[in-house]
A and B are shown apart, each in its own frame.
Chain A
Amino acid sequence: MLEIADVTVTYGAVRALERVSLTVPSGTVTAVIGANGAGKSTLMRTIAGLVKPASGSVALSGVGITSLRPEDIVRAGVVLVPEGRSTIPELTVEENLDLGGLWRDKAARKTSKAEALDLFPILADRRRSRADTLSGGERQQLAIARALMCAPTCLMLDEPSLGLAPLIVTQILELVRRLSVDANLAVLLVEQNAVTALRVATHGVVLNLGRVVMEGPAEHIAAHDELRHAYLGY
């Protein structure tokens, strides 16, 4: 379970996040939705340790991780798949995959790799190709597979649907939902595409200008017309 309590992040005079609190229980998908500039990516990057909050705290299963370095937060079990299909184009598919969880012992990595390749069979077929020869959807799968190699207890996905065909987005998100249940993962999903995100999510959180303006079961939020008009613009 990931707990974010009263997190405030400032960039100079700008408050990107204002006392944001939310809880991501294990075995569920929590979708953070909101318009561009609502602070969604900042929230993810703060949890991942890439941005340090001015105040507030982040804890995983009761253990504080706020002051850890990004690489130690990963090792603690909180893994971010950043926006933009973050594979390394100069490396092969297999090298990109192997990069995840290099600190773990060999046997554990081997098991994780077999599981990841089982989950994303296309990666097994392409393992010797350079990552930049993959399609957008395949690269997103590779990025998620690499995150799984780190044996996360909390998985964060920043805009996984960006630039992908709707059918592929549905497949990937459905897989993430299944993963959250099967592996008891706490999944935090940031999306601009609210409809798709709320379809797979258990809980929804709406961010606007750095504040949580609403949270609750995903279907409530999806059915909330005024909220949609006010904050999501559709």
Chain B
Amino acid sequence: MTNDSHRRYWRANLRYVAMLLAIWFVVSYGAGILFVEQLNQIRIGGFQLGFWFAQQGAIYVFVALIFVYVGLMNRLDRAYEVDEREDGR
């Protein structure tokens, strides 16, 4: 693999990571901590929304984020031909 394609692969990876970590930050530190009082004005069933994010929602999003990253990276690995071959080399 050339240095140039290596660099582009790494940049694309960093873009994905930055995007997903931004969501990670917003649902936990944003919705669950910094803006919890404002969101608590909104109710969904028996839950106040901020409280729900802090004790339920953030965790669901965390799980989804990892699987989205797995999917994105598997595609990226194949596109740049750096995925692992079956013989392990």
Task: Tell whether A pairs with B.
Answer: no
Residues of chain A touching chain B, judged by Cβ–Cβ distance below 8 Å, are none
